[in-house]
Copies of this chain bind each other. A is one copy, B any other.
Amino acid sequence: MTIRIAVIGAGLMGADHAKIVAEDMPGARLQVVCDRDSARAAGVAGAYGAEVASDPEAVIARADVDAVIIASPDFTHAPLSLACIRAGKRVMCEKPLSQSSAECLTVIEAEQVAGARFVQLGFMRRYDEAYVQMKAALVQGRLGRALMMHNFHRNVSTPATDFTGAMAITNSAPHEFDVVRHVLGTEYAAISATQPKRSDALVAPVCMVLETLDGQVVTIEVNNNAAYGYDIRAELVGETASIALNPVAYTRLDAGLTNATAYDADWRSRYRDAYVRQNRAFLRFVQTGDFPQIAASAWDGYAAAVVAEAGVRALASGQKIPVTMMARPELYA
């Protein structure tokens, strides 16, 4: 039975999701593309013969929509996820669930009331082959006990000129907040953050140091104006060995006294396979009702929001800020 999927939001991410549903998810059908801007929705839907809509709540309620992918603006993620829960429909919601941990809790509560998980959160890096190998090496005992994880998140440039250090923490770092928790299998205890000074008006990198409940130290650099390329690095240092993401390049060029490999320009090419795997896992979730083993849940969205909130306070105050989470509900055990 084909799963009919609605994609809400027809921006860059929504268009990518629509394409994945239409081209990379046998068993799914792109039923409808919804955007406040109908022309934009039509632009995306047209290529795949999907319907066009502009009211997300109505789309969620449609009888011919079995499941939903939310890729609309961040502030809509939690309300629309709640609408999906109310409608009893599973939803793949782009990160973040909400930048407010309190709002994340409303989703968690709704799921608890419903007695089931509905929300799969779009922390796609969990499905990236490199992180999968990293976690496997740790679990298999090839590294000894985990001691540190070093993370570097670098974009060519910020999408907007008024991007701030706090936004680096709330918008970019959550990918690291989540995947580190996922790889290490623990929660954060504290966070501190600082920034170097740039010579221009662009947002400077943010350097964070986190401690986990298991006694690990985690460093995260978010450099939204790294200029040289989209470059995600991570190294997991164990007591006996260390594993790192290896840059993937298909060719190398010898020219002009250099040997060079290419960087991606942005995350979309770098994580293309991860998005496909993630969305296929979502399809199986819709088909079977079994929440995917490695996917991020509403709880993981809450965890990311909590540490981001602490990080913003840490950056503003120059202090180390404790990370305090509610007890993990049984639903997310």
Asked if A105 lies at the interface with its beta carbon under 8 angstroms from chain B, I say: no
Complex: how many Å from CA A189 to CA B144?
36
Question: Across the interface, which residues of B come within 8 angstroms of A265, CB to CB?
Answer: 257
State A300–B263 Cα separation when bound (angstroms). 34
A71 to B133, CA, bound (A): 32
A128 CB contacts on chain B under 8 angstroms: 250
Q: B200, B217, B248, B249: which contacts A205 (Cβ < 8 A)?
A: B217
A252 to B249, CA, bound (A): 14
| Segment at the interface with B among A7-15, A21-29, A89-97, A301-309 | A21-29
Contact B249 A142 (CB under 8 A): no
A26-B22, A26-B23 known; A253+B142 contact, CB < 8 A: yes
B239 x A255 contact (CB < 8 A):
no
Q: Which of B207, B214, B249, B320 contacts A318 (CB 8 A)?
A: B320
Closest residue of chain B to A129 (Cβ to Cβ) is: B250
CB within 8 Å of B: which of A240-275? 240-263, 265
Q: Give the Cβ gap from A288 to chain B, nearest Cβ, in Å.
A: 16
Find out whether the CB atom of A207 lies under 8 angstroms from the CB atom of B145: no
Give chain B residues whose Cβ lies under 8 Å from the Cβ of A226. 237, 242
Assess whether B237 is in contact with A255, with CB atoms less than 8 Å apart.
Answer: no
CB-based contact A147/B196 at 8 Å: yes
Which chain A residues numbered 300 to 331 have a C-beta less than 8 Å away from chain B? Answer: 318, 320
Interface string of A154-166 (1 = CB under 8 A from B): 0010000000000
Give Cα A147 to B204, complex, Å. Answer: 8
User: What are the 6 closest A-B residue pairs judged by CB atoms, nearest first?
Assistant: A197-B215, A241-B255, A130-B250, A260-B260, A242-B254, A258-B260
